[in-house]
Each structure stands twice: as structure tokens, then as C-alpha cells.
Amino acid sequence: MQFIHFLNSHLLDPNVGAGRHYAGVLEQAVAADRLGFRGVGIPEHHLVNLLLIPSPLQMAVAIAARTRRVELVTSICQLPIRDMRIFAGEVVQAQALCEGRLMLGVGKGAFGYETGRLGVPMEETKARFEESLAVLEALLTREEVSWDGRWYRFDALTVMPRPDRPVPIQLASMAPDGIEAAARRGYHVQTTPLGASEEILAAQVGAFHRGRAAAPDGGSNRLSLQRGLYLARNAADARDKLDRAHAYYEKFDNVFGGPGLVDHGIVRSLPRKQTVEELGRNILICERQEMIDKLSHYAELGIDDVISSSNFGQPQAETLDMMERFAAEVMPHVTSLGADIGE
């Protein structure tokens, strides 16, 4: 089992400014490369101050220029809000500039506030995504492509330059049926139970393995599962980060399936039904031995990569320190686990 450090990129204080904000994101990515993380996860969101990276491919290229080995995982690029004829060329360019380290995670988008203001109602995103993915794959793998569909209609064209190598694609899905279907088709899969229970997580993982077992190539695709994760120094540190995580979800829930109440780009906090204690039983905010035990269980389930979502609004220095301690105190105990299932 390997680890991908998720670049949460929350601009909780807009007075920080874009330059300082993205310098902090890059600093975490460089640390992940140095510390032996398999990759970094690069989100995409617009118009809100959560997960704020409007151009994940641009960020991937910037990280690639500052690192040597870490994989650049888009988490995820939202296909319904893009024109695939433009995006395909951007993917080829990014893959070249990332020297082959790009893993193209794609999905339909998650925030109705965001997609709606970009002209794509949330109820259309699934259908748009499915056609967009088909168009994107055709443009990346065939020289002359024409299309006559619901969302795309165009005469024959060739995206230039052509890719030097196949671009690996990872599909994002949270629903077990969608996960199973994607795995059956041979795609790498990215999923998350967010702050939900272990039972939800197990259902997602089980769906992936059922699909992978039925994949035509015998199952070489990987499962990456994102989870809130923070290696606490002690009980007080764990409680502080758990309180911060709950406060983050008060904002996240607002735009993920919620009413989408946003003031000048700042997402409002709304009351949650899930208590702090319930959230704490689900996500991984704990001390060393408990962290090792829980991640060992994840390896037993057959999770290939854990995407560690570790920024809950704490100072940058605490995040960097946690990454150092996690790499030294936890990763050596679990990175060799699960190879018979997940590798």
C-alpha cells in the first residue's frame, strides 16, 4: 500500500493572497516527493475558497518542475465544464512537461454551486461526463476523430501534438455500482467515503475488487481511496485536528449536496448532523500505533493507495511536521502490506 498526499488547498483567509497560498501548496508537494510519498493529489475547484486549484494540469506541471519522482494525480479534472478538443491537447502537453508522471484523474464534478455557475446544471453532469470521456479517449488515441453526439458535434480533426505514450486515466466515483463498472472496464479508480463510516468504505472497496476481478486484462488497475488522515502527537493534538476537520465539513457539506451558500467566494459554515465524535470514529486522526493498526486494516481490504487528506486549516508548519513524522513513523510499517491483493 502506498500514499498520495492530497493538496487540499483551502484558502480559508482570503487576505493570504494567491502567491503565498500556492507557494504553500508547492511546498507540501516538494515535501511529499522528498519523503517518499507515491504521489500528490491535485484537486480542481472554482469560485469557492475550498480545494481551490482552478487548473490542476497547470499545478501538475509546476510541481513536476520542482520534484524528481512523485506522481502527479489530478483529483479530479472535471470533464463536463470543459471542451475536450482543447483539453486533450492540454493533457498531452502536461504529460510531456511532467515527463510521464501524470495520472489523469477525471470525474463529473461534485459542487452544484460551481458547475451551475459555469453553465452546467448538476443533473446534467453524469451524461456530459460519459460523452466527454469517450470524446477525450478518442482524441488521445486516434489521429482523425469526428463526432455526432448529444453534447459534441464536430468534423474530423487531429489533436496535436500526439502523445508520446498512453495517458493513464483514473475515474472518480463514490457509488459502489459506478466503482465496480469502472474497475470492470479496466480503469484505475479514485474514491472516497468522505467522513462516512467504515461500512461505506468497505462497500466501495468491495465493489472495486468485484469489478477488477472481471476486468479483461486480469486486474492491473489500482484503487486509490481518499480519507481524512492526520498523525497526532498526543490526545490533545488529535482533538484539535478533529475539531478542525468537523469545522471544515461544516463548509464542505454546504457545497457538496447542500444549498451552496457562498458569500463573495467564501463558503458558509452550516450545522452538521454528524457529531465530532462520530466523525472521529470514521476518519484517521490518531496517534502512531492506532494509525498503523487502522492502515494495516486498509491494506488487508486491498486498498492500493491511500490519498491522505491532512489539511484541516492548521498552520502550514504543522502540516509539514506531520508529513515528516508520518513518513518516518508510519509509512515504513505499512507500505509493504497488501501486495498480494492490491499491487
291-317: pLDDT as tens digits: 999 999 999 999 999 999 999 999 999
- pLDDT confidence tier of residue 219, bands split at 50, 70 and 90: confident
In 3D space, the residue among 332, 321, 309, 196 whose CA is nearest the CA of residue 253 turns out to be 196
Q: What is the DSSP letter of 172?
A: E
pLDDT at 83 over 80: yes
pLDDT at 340 over 90: no
More confident call, 45 vs 220: 45
Backbone torsion region of residue 305, taken as left when φ is above 0, otherwise alpha when ψ lies between -120 and 50, otherwise beta: beta
- pLDDT confidence tier of residue 33, bands split at 50, 70 and 90: very high
CB–CB of 37/75 below 8 Å?
A: no
Q: What is the reported pLDDT for 338?
A: 73
pTM of the model: 0.96
CB–CB of 209/179 below 8 Å?
A: no
Q: What is the DSSP letter of 58?
A: H
- pLDDT confidence tier of residue 343, bands split at 50, 70 and 90: very low
Q: Is 107 helix (H, G, I), strand (E, B) or coil?
A: strand
CB–CB of 159/140 below 8 Å?
A: yes
Q: What is the reported pLDDT for 220?
A: 86
pLDDT at 180 over 50: yes
Least confident of 206-220, 233-247, 291-305: 206-220
Side chain identity at residue 261, one-letter code? L
Average pLDDT of span 26-46 = 98
Residue 195 Cα to chain centre, angstroms: 15
Grid cell 470524446 in the structure block, residue: 135
pLDDT at 341 over 70: no
CB–CB of 103/39 below 8 Å?
A: yes
Q: What is the reported pLDDT for 207?
A: 98
Q: What is the reported pLDDT for 336?
A: 87
In 3D space, the residue among 302, 285, 30 whose CA is nearest the CA of residue 191 turns out to be 302
CB–CB of 73/4 below 8 Å?
A: yes
> What is the average pLDDT value for the chain, to the nearest integer?
96
What percentage of the chain reaches a pLDDT higher than 90? 96
Q: What share of the chain is helix, strand, coil (3-state, %, to 5)?
A: 45, 15, 35
Measured at the alpha carbon of residue 135, what is the angle toward residues 143 and 104, in degrees to the nearest 5?
95
Least confident of 190-199, 214-223, 320-329: 214-223
Q: List, in order, residues 6 or more apart from 271 with CB less than 8 Å away.
A: 250
In 3D space, the residue among 274, 184, 185 whose CA is nearest the CA of residue 228 turns out to be 274
Locate 268 and state its grid cell.
458558509
Locate 139 and state its grid cell.
482524441
How many Å from the N-terminal Cα to the C-terminal Cα in the chain? Answer: 8
CB–CB of 68/31 below 8 Å?
A: no
pLDDT tens track for 127-150 = 999 999 999 999 999 999 999 999
